[in-house]
Amino acid sequence: MKRLLKAFIRPFAKMMIRVQNTRTGFCIPSDVYIPTSFKMLFGRYEAGPISMLLTLLPKGGIFVDVGANIGYISRKAAIKLGHNGKIFAFEPNQEVYQVLRQNMQPFKGAVTANLGLSNTNGRKSFWVGNNRSMGSLNEEFPNVLLVNEGEDTLRKIEVEIAIGDEVLLGIDDTIDAIKIDVEGHEYEVLDGLRKTIKLRRVKSFFIEINPRAQSIAGHDCQEIFDFLKKYEYIPFGTEGAYANVRLTSHKQEMLLSKLGKRDFTTVAFLLKGSCELPDVG
């Protein structure tokens, strides 16, 4: 029964995606996970985090997207920032990067780079499946997550990574927001941005908190909260019951307990005194 449903749903879904690609000019590859594609089609993908992000981004501001994938969030940000805004979108997977570059071409203030940000420079192994819209620098994570009911084949590619502080050195103005969604490599990205963060050059971070991915990478999610707390960043939930709620230590524990080892969410970290949201102070 499951196979019959897939046999019917997949062609229908791909047809809808092709129509949407033509209508909007935003390309969603046919091998993107279908539930994700549908959320993008109907504007429900990462709806909570995007809503808060767009609230914080000013016209003519600066947004950095680390792990930009095909550019769904970067395009939303570019529209809000307007003609004078600047977008810097990074994606290490060459195949996905080609789609990202295509999707960001209409925006004159957008700069894309086939590069991953980290705390070291060089080339690293990167694992992807047939669903090429997802991938990770940690082999075990895509092996768990990307293999879709035995239909996906895991493969290794080589990608370029660079220290974030060095890459963003040319951005003179304050960065309004940096989004980091890198399937377990979030702490390394933050570590590579340590100098930029110390100089208070980033008003906010939107970071995926994924206990399973970060555990596989050898980290605890609490490390991210603790790292940014040292630099006076205040965490806020972005989804469900935690949307726009300041995450005290107790609420952080509750959130992480709720996520367990199978769920994930995006947490916004706002630099104290730089962003206007309720309860920041």
Please indicate, yes or no, whether residues 25 and 112 belong to a single structural domain of this protein.
Answer: no
Please indicate, yes or no, whether residues 28 and 61 belong to a single structural domain of this protein.
Answer: no
Confidence of residue 29 (pLDDT cuts 50, 70, 90): confident
Pairing of strands 265-271, 110-113: unpaired
DSSP for 174-230, written as a single string: PBSEEEE--TT-HHHHHHHTHHHHHTT-BSEEEEEE-HHHHHHTT--HHHHHHHHHT
The pLDDT value given to residue 14: 56
Please indicate, yes or no, whether residues 8 and 131 belong to a single structural domain of this protein.
Answer: no
- Average the pLDDT over 206-230 and give the result: 94
Per-residue pLDDT reduced to its tens digit, 113-148:
999 999 999 999 998 877 666 788 887 766 555 554
- Structure tokens, 177: 């927001």
Please indicate, yes or no, whether residues 120 and 79 belong to a single structural domain of this protein.
Answer: yes
Assign residue 141 a region (left: φ > 0; alpha: ψ between -120 and 50; beta: otherwise): alpha
C-beta of residue 268 within 8 angstroms of C-beta of residue 46? no
Please indicate, yes or no, whether residues 126 and 155 belong to a single structural domain of this protein.
Answer: yes
Higher pLDDT pick, 3 / 233: 233
- Average the pLDDT over 179-201 and give the result: 96
CATH at 117: 3.40.50.150
Pairing of strands 177-180, 155-163: unpaired
Number of domains in the chain: 2
The answer to whether position 155 is within a domain reads: yes
The answer to whether position 178 is within a domain reads: yes
Please indicate, yes or no, whether residues 148 and 135 belong to a single structural domain of this protein.
Answer: yes
The answer to whether position 27 is within a domain reads: yes
Confidence of residue 235 (pLDDT cuts 50, 70, 90): very high
Flag whether the pTM goes above 0.75: yes
Please indicate, yes or no, whether residues 11 and 143 belong to a single structural domain of this protein.
Answer: no
- Structure tokens, 217: 């990478």
Give the single-character DSSP code of 137: S
Give the single-character DSSP code of 57: P
The answer to whether position 280 is within a domain reads: no
The pLDDT value given to residue 1: 44
Rounded Cα distance between 152 and 128, Å, is: 9
Rounded Cα distance between 26 and 100, Å, is: 10
The answer to whether position 278 is within a domain reads: no
Please indicate, yes or no, whether residues 37 and 68 belong to a single structural domain of this protein.
Answer: no
The answer to whether position 105 is within a domain reads: yes
The pLDDT value given to residue 281: 42
Q: What mean pLDDT is reported for the chain? A: 86
The answer to whether position 16 is within a domain reads: yes
**Structural domain containing residue 170:** 46-271
- Average the pLDDT over 223-244 and give the result: 96
Please indicate, yes or no, whether residues 202 and 138 belong to a single structural domain of this protein.
Answer: yes
The pLDDT value given to residue 13: 55
Confidence of residue 27 (pLDDT cuts 50, 70, 90): confident
**Predicted confidence (pLDDT) at residue 26 exceeds the cutoff of 50:** yes
Per-residue pLDDT reduced to its tens digit, 165-189:
999 998 989 999 999 999 899 999 9
Helix (H) or strand (E) holding 15: helix 2-24
Rounded Cα distance between 49 and 73, Å, is: 10
The pLDDT value given to residue 277: 64
The answer to whether position 117 is within a domain reads: yes
The pLDDT value given to residue 149: 47
Please indicate, yes or no, whether residues 125 and 25 belong to a single structural domain of this protein.
Answer: no
The pLDDT value given to residue 2: 44
Please indicate, yes or no, whether residues 224 and 243 belong to a single structural domain of this protein.
Answer: yes
Per-residue pLDDT reduced to its tens digit, 51-95:
999 999 999 999 999 999 999 999 999 999 999 999 999 999 999
Please indicate, yes or no, whether residues 234 and 147 belong to a single structural domain of this protein.
Answer: yes
- Average the pLDDT over 203-207 and give the result: 98
